[in-house]
Amino acid sequence: MRVNGAEILIRTLIDHDVKTIFGYPGGAVLNIYDALYKHSEEINHIIVAHEQGAAHAADGYARATGKVGVCLATSGPGATNLVTGIATAYMDSVPLVVITGNVAKPLIGKDSFQEVDIVGITMPITKHNFIVRDVNELQHTIRKAFRIANEGRKGPVLIDIPKDVTAEMAEYVKKEPQKLKESNDVDEEILDQVANLINESKQVFIYAGGGIISGDASEELLALAEKINSPVGMTLMGLGGFPYKHPLFTGMIGMHGSRCSNICATQCDLLIAIGARFSDRVINNKNFIKNAKVIHLDIDEAEINKNVRVDLGLVGNIKVILERLLPKLKENRNEQWMAKLQELKEADKCTCENKGELNPQIIVTQIKEAVKEQGIIVTDVGQHQMWTAQYYGYDAPRTFLSSGGLGTMGFGMGAAIGAQVGMPNKRVVLVTGDGSFGMNCNEMVTAVSQNLPVIIVIMNNSVLGMVRQWQKLFYEERYSSTTLNRKTDFVKLAEAYGATAFRAYTAEELQDCLGKAVDYNSPVLIDCVVDMDKKVFPMVAPGAPISEILLEKDL
């Protein structure tokens, strides 16, 4: 069948079981939008308020569902508005296919209207990118892009399509998606060395990251921890990959991790890093764990010995590695290590703060009580992000979505929309701060237009809380440009967009607001007024050993 390039694109997306595209139309993609119109019963296009929102929505959709997210934008500013969202997905290994239009081929390189070299711009922040100059290559390129995005270490792939390519005619034949390469190869010699080192060790600590979730290896991680009786600390990106109520779970690890996780990491005799990359916000210096041997299991060979020199590195599919490792391991009780773990966990226990005061711990706890086990929690970036990571308690993968590597303020609203579209039977809650929400609050119009039952909870402290916290601790309280003094009424703003909105000053008021919010089938915003001087603790100062933990009492 001979059809134009735009028709080939949409039909090939349908072949890849794409049900939803997030995007914004423009001149260079008019042919694509015309094809979308003709296939509107097969593929749903959600128009956002801003292209960055499209990228974040596709990202949230991918994180929540495990599928490839797809977004679409026109040339020039439409394409460049996607860049922050692409970089966010790249840093957190999220599979996206990003489609941009470009000017017609004869106009490329001539500073034409709305022309930009988006392939050159995004080269450092994509797994791969393409410009399709021949319509006969379009279908093959799209199929290849989906395979690359979802194969190995996942990530975003960009396809740039000149406008005349979308108009040109070519042959289309329906084809199955390209098969992913099976990542089942494991170096048996190194696997045996890994097993021997684990079997010889008495104080093992597992440091696990987002690779557990993207690799669908949560069950294998649990089996490993229980067999060798090892405590488990998770990175921000790994939360949900290990049940938080499990007696071996020590909480988050790193700059704002639990004291138990950080101390275990520095006192173990063997640290096993699984699907984690020794980020500077966790452990980026072997001197911090100088008494331990280190094993690193990861799907990306480039991560082995990149930030920390390790004793053994094994590359491959994490799920497969753990499946093959488990039979080689001895049961280990490690009673002295377990006693130390219980001592540390007991010291970490904190009681909930005064229930009359509207504080971050109460806010997060009440959100969990309201949505029960049906919640998918999305955050922006800042203090609220860390409080939500620390206090909520995640039992299942893909229930905590946050920008980890890039730390993108403004990520949350788009990501919450994408997550709710992808998981309509779950209740998505966005926990955000007034600073982050101000960056992409325009996407409220998308949530309202699509009638999405997202609950938005703003921890409104009238400051850029995390930056202000650093100014308090490290800059002698010189609060330069972090006290916002804005007059925005978020309740009125939400109502202007067509959403329902409430404001809470006390824990009792918040409980009432959340009780009402869960009964709505449309967006609800709750503006929570909190103290600007609340700080996130525990905290490790930048560059300090992770065992040197600052607590609130230290101030």
Just list the catalytic residues.
51, 113-114, 163, 466
Cβ atoms of 254 and 235 within 8 Å: the answer is: yes
| Size (the chain), residues | 555
CB half-sphere exposure, 92, CA atoms < 13 A: 27
Residue 373, burial from CB neighbour count under 10 angstroms (0-12, 13-18, 19+): exposed
State the Cα–Cα distance between residues 20 and 17, nearest whole angstrom. 9
Q: What is the spatial order of strands in the sheet that 204-208 belongs to?
A: 249-252, 232-234, 204-208, 270-274, 293-298, 312-315
Q: What CA–CA distance (Å, rounded) separates 149 from 126?
A: 9
DSSP labels, 3-51: EEHHHHHHHHHHHTT--EEEE---GGGHHHHHHHHHTTTTSEEEE-SSH
Contact indicator for 382, 464 with CB cutoff of 8 Å = yes
Residue 503 CB-density burial (10 A; 0-12 exposed, 13-18 middle, 19+ buried): middle
Q: What is the DSSP string of 221-246?
A: HHHHHHHHT--EEE-GGGTTSS-TTS
